[in-house]
Structure 1
Amino acid sequence: MPVTLSVAIITLNEEANLARTLSSVAFADEVIIVDSGSSDRTLEIAHSFPHVKVFSESWKGFAAQKNSAIEKCTGTWVLSLDADEELTPELQNEIRLLLPGNPSADAYMLRRRNLFLGRWIKRGGYYPDPKLRLFRNHSANFAPATRFTDRPVHETIAFDGRLETLNHDLIHHAYPTIEGYIEHMDRYSTLGAEILVAKGTTSRSWPAFFFNMRVVPQLTFIWNFFFRLGFLDGREGLLLHAYHSTYTSWKYAKAWNAARKR
């Protein structure tokens, strides 16, 4: 049976990113895109690339949407990507050489290089940021219902098999503008608060509320910016770690407010 590669991507108004992502996986045998109602040029861009199949589905949540894309893949291997990610030429070549050689692993972690305001953030816990993205399709370890864990945000693949890490980088064009980052953190802090509420971690007592709102964000900033050398990433590093600590306080505040309303 020939070795083939499918790429799974979910989209919503990704005209600024999609062409770059699709160009980096032009060597793949098929690309599956599940779009949830784009109103920009996302679909036009998708249809301009060969081997791309586009499906339109209503939004079901990150995990369910990504699982839907994976389930439509017919390749022997699946590469799951976000629309704002791209493979470096070195990673493209590594995957092209790896898959036909009967790899011993069932899945591979990719080293992710996160960009903030166009700068590669190398420290403070942001690199290499390994993500499980490349895996065998239709394996017993990848039942369709459990490929991505069912949670509101920061979904991950549940995997129990032989796992290795590739040598080259996946580039994440995460936050090209400050405005986009703040909007993103507002949305993700809401989703993160849902996880805290589900776990019962809602800072109901005054000491817990104070600790999570004041102490935890400051400790997070100190740990990542100073002890993990985030300050070496310049002004971009300072802004990223400062805003991330704010995101932490937003998350706990929203969880407390949701529990209070209940």
Structure 2
Amino acid sequence: MSTKKSLSVIILTKNEASLLADCLLSVVWADEIIIVDSGSTDETLSIAQRYGAKIYTHTDWQGFGKQRNIAQQYAKGEYLLMVDADERISPLLKNAIEAVLMAPDDNAVYSCSRRNLFLGRFMRHSGWYPDRVVRLYPPQYQYKEDYVHESLMCGSAKIIPLKGDLLHLTCRDFSDFQQKQLNYAKIWAIQRHQQGKSCHYLAIFGHTLWAFCKTGLLRAGFLDGKQGLLLACVNAQYTFTKYTALWSLNQIDRFRNRSE
């Protein structure tokens, strides 16, 4: 008779008091919960303590990929489940995870579908669903150390989809969401600039129009109603911002070269 594998849930936090309790409530069935905090000044850590989480602090923030790898070092579970504070494990996904722990595939990692909230609606189209992400895996795997949009380096492992959804409260407040998009666009542009990438002026508008059409039409965003149309506009805006930022960095380089 097989023995159930132990599970460590890992959550990165910083000032997540408004979200963390519901997240922890959805994973209290795990063998341990690891919190790696990067300097919270609200009630985040006291909430984590109430749920019996093991708390570690790392304020030398070097990006999400690096911080996730640091967090994994504290986990003792035979399997790891990486969850963000604005995510919740649905009952069906919990059942699927527990089934894996009873009979895991040693050469596999596991993905789950994320159902993303946008302006009061969990999206079903627009490229925001099923939005599969690999979150359950044995500890020999690590994350690519990108600052944002980090991914697990799975190598030749099979990626097995799990049933059930990971509920992601992506956009609860539109202003906060927009600020996050601006930050991501800036980081994207800096990374591409450091890699020697450039962008033609007219390409900015081409990428922007394509982003709107891809979200609203090709990915059937119109089926998500008003939120689908608004999301198409937001994605176009994000695309415009990141390519304009990259173009601007290239222009600064050219100005400096002419001045030397």
Same fold (TM over 0.5): yes
Does the CA-based 8 Å contact 2:6-2:77 persist in structure 1?
A: yes
Does the CA contact (< 8 Å) of 2:66 and 2:146 recur in 1?
Answer: no
**Preserved contact between residue 4 and residue 101 of structure 2 (Cα < 8 Å):** no
Q: 1:32·1:72 contact (CA, 8 Å) conserved in 2?
A: yes
* Conservation of the 8 A alpha-carbon contact between 1:5 and 1:79: yes
Aligned residue in 1 for 2:256: none
Shift of 1:104: 5.1
In structure 2, distance between residues paired with 1:247 and 1:55:
34
- Which residue in the other structure is 1:120 paired with? 122
Distance 2:230 2:42 in 1: 30
The number of residues matched between the two structures is 249
Query: What TM-score results when the alignment is normalised by the length of structure 2?
Result: 0.91
Aligned counterparts of 2:218 and 2:5: Cα–Cα separation in 1? 45
Larger mean Cα displacement after TM superposition, 250-259 or 119-128: 250-259
Look up the match of 1:166. 162
- 3-state SS in 1 of match to 2:83: strand
Aligned with 2:174 (options 174, 178, 187):
178
Aligned residue among 238, 247, 250 for 1:256: 247
Distance 1:164 1:11 in 2: 28
Q: Is the 8 A contact 2:4 2:103 kept in 1?
A: no
Q: Work out whether 1:210 is the aligned partner of 2:211.
A: no
Report whether the alignment pairs 1:245 with 2:242.
no
Q: Which runs of 5+ in 1 are unaligned?
A: none
Paired position in structure 1 for 2:218: 227
TM-score, scaled to structure 1: 0.90
Does the CA-based 8 Å contact 2:62-2:147 persist in structure 1? no
Q: What is the CA–CA distance in structure 1 between the aligned matches of 2:230 and 2:73, rounded to whole Å?
A: 39
Q: Give 1:234 shift.
A: 1.4
Residue 241 of structure 1 and its aligned partner are, at CA, apart by 1.5
Partner residue, 2:151 = 156
Secondary structure of the 1:17 match is helix
> Which amino acid in 1 is paired with 2:28?
A
Residue 36 of structure 1, aligned match among 35, 38, 41: 38
Is 1:71 aligned to residue 66 of structure 2?
A: no
Q: Contact 2:111–2:135 (CA<8 Å) still a contact in 1?
A: yes
- Partner SS, residue 46 of structure 1: helix
